[in-house]
Amino acid sequence: MAFNSIKYAFFLLVVFFLYWFVFDRWIAQSKQQLRWQNAFVLVASYIFYGLWSWKFLILIAFTSLCSYLSGQQMSTGRWRKTALWSNIIINVGILGLFKYYDFFAAELAGLLGVAGDKFMLHLVLPVGISFYTFQALSYSIDVYKHKIEPTRDIIAFFAYIAFFPQLVAGPIERATNLLPQFQRKRTFDYDTVVDGARQILWGLFMKMVVADNCASYVDKVFAWGGSGSEHLMAAVFFTFQIYGDFAGYSNIAIGTAKLFGIRLMQNFKTPYFSRDIAEFWRRWHISLTTWFRDYIYIPLGGSRVGKFKVMRNTFIIFLVSGLWHGANWTFLSWGFYHACLFLPLILLGQNRKYTDTVAAGRWLPSVKELGQMTLTFMLALVGWIIFRATGIPSTAGYLHEMLTSETLTGIYKIFTHWEMLPVGIMIVVEWLQRNKEHGLQNWENIFCNRWIRYCIYAFFLASTIFFRGDYQEFIYFQF
């Protein structure tokens, strides 16, 4: 069930109604009210995931059980390191088998000069496996480091791993944030539910109107080619497509969680307003980048070691990030490319220069800020070409076609495509809301008249109905 489907809308309404107005009242007098509340969330989450494939429910249940038992073993104080590494090996092994085995088998077979198909398993990649595996690992590691106490409530733990809004594509939650929320009773809060509904609406606009309309043009050019300016337009549209697609999903997930009294971490903070590539990565897919920072980069020494080791750690992080996205040389190249962009910032000690919000307290950026944001956007754009390409040769060919004299003379054509209208609306809204959690939050600060705000919400709702693009599956479902 995709978030942008009628089936999901029906599922969400039913679960929400039963959760607050039927089931919650039915168990209100129970001494185990919280346990039953979590059990309802778990059942709903397993139904949600089972509609993708019921067979993969066994896999997520096994991952959950192994991680739960590792925490229980560590709570005894004996064999702590063995319990931790056993769980890491089991879960990373499962992820590697499904996601990377065929890739490495084919590469090894190529090196040996034998037919690679004989060694490949052709396993179907379970949807969301990269996300829930990392979430399970964070629990074991945090328990081992004494950042969180191991839970004995197996239902709450299974609900933490399988919570349906963020199960398929994140945010990748930490046990220190999400698990305690399943250990205390949730109560209905009208303001939180309304804000969640607005965030869902904003996420649907980003996905269905911005991303899906850009996707049609992107798919055509990447598949069939075109002029230099058309290659540039497709690259620009894909840059906004992948943002609208993934940030849209995150907004829907976070908004949905609010409907059930759960707070998920913010996953995007207007990354295309970043002034350098380091700031971009502090604002893009925050749950994954901070996961790598906390569980790989810092254990390697982080930034407290010499510059050579900092650069080494940076390359490790980005290569692992590329590999996390998929078993493909283009993803590894994309990670290597971004690691190279970090080198000048590390050498000059500028990788932590921008931690505030751009143009804080001002309506418009300065000329310098605008130039920095434009340069960072273009660097990210080149990275997305590498990410989207089918191989290294096609990446080189695409860049060659894009960097022609015709591109300069036809660059104005970008603004003649109607897809730039929803993109422009998104940019304006996110600029006005760059200090907020999402685009439709607290519009009271801009428009005092509530009827104006209602008209704005109605506009975005109508846009998702009448101006949506052709249906596209969420890009990050493949990871």
Query: Catalytic amino acids?
Result: 325
Residue 157, CA atoms < 13 Å, CB-side half-sphere: 25
Residue 165: strand, helix, or coil: helix
Q: Is the CB of residue 201 less than 8 Å from the CB of residue 461? A: yes
Tell me the C-alpha to C-alpha distance, in Å, between residue 282 and each of 191, 298, 453: 29, 15, 31
The secondary structure element, H or E, covering residue 378 is helix 367-388
C-alpha to C-alpha distance for 222 and 238, rounded to whole angstroms: 10
CA distance 468 to 479: 24
Hey, what are 440's tokens? 């439709």
| DSSP characters over 208-232 | IIIIHHHHHHHHHHHHH---HHHHH
Element (H, E) at 85: helix 80-99
Q: Are 208 and 464 in contact (CB under 8 A)?
A: yes
Please name which of 258, 73, 292, 45 lies closest in space to residue 161, comparing C-alpha atoms: 45
SS3 for 299-366 is CCCCCCCCHHHHHHHHHHHHHHHHHHHCCCHHHHHHHHHHHHHHHHHHHCCCCCCCCCCCCCCCCCCC
